[in-house]
Structure 1
């Protein structure tokens, strides 16, 4: 399935009834993102509009959907991970997500899929494919039970070890 046939993210969330889990495993995403570039220059998020994400996730949380996001990160962290860490409280957690962080050195013995993913209601996986520099290439939807099981098992293993956002302190060089 190519990216043109994949429903937009808000539509996937609107069709989710119980849970959505997201595993992120990269240290850099979309390095030319204007919000990230501006944060690098100013150190603040005053320019950032949280409305769309908070509405999309907040509406789903209001319907009873549980959102969990886990991030596996290298330490010391990259500038992009520092940016995500700052964004998390004001965006993800404020919208109703639970977020945890796992230092990569604690994930060495885990079996993980090759790409970041979302799993919606234990029925559908949306894989994210990125170029080496972190720019988005395309997304892919999968619904095979063995793929869903692999992703859910990996997510739960990471989630169990990961540190809650409120307690995770960034390791910087």
Structure 2
């Protein structure tokens, strides 16, 4: 009988101790930040976006110009191919093919460079945001701050405080 009673007693004691820890866990201070909104709405993120746009505007315009030139050449070939000599048509097709290859290469390089620069800039913004989040957590004594939750009660939402901190404004309490 003692063999059965002792494990039951030990299990009941462990369960009671576990339940006793639940209120302590519930007393913790939790927060939530919406990283996507920070990366979209914060001043550093908007500054980074404008910087990237400024760096890549000229190349984007060049790609647009090349695409328009390629389209005009293809339309011209379609319109005049019946009246063109075979040799002239082949030369025109080769020119279009070379221009298309050049356009595709430049577009691919542009996209790769743009993505790399965007990732570099956004990494810096994310680093600043994480510093601001840590500072808010330490100053306001948060136990844990979550990012990107499925649902978060608006009273634990800290995104606006982080955005204000990134602007250099003191967060409202």
Fold agreement, TM-score > 0.5: no
TM-score normalised by the chain length of structure 2: 0.21
Between 1 and 2, higher relative CO (CA 8 Å, sep ≥ 6) is seen in: 2
Structure (1/2) with the larger strand percentage: 1
TM-score normalised by the chain length of structure 1: 0.21
Structure (1/2) with the larger helix percentage: 2
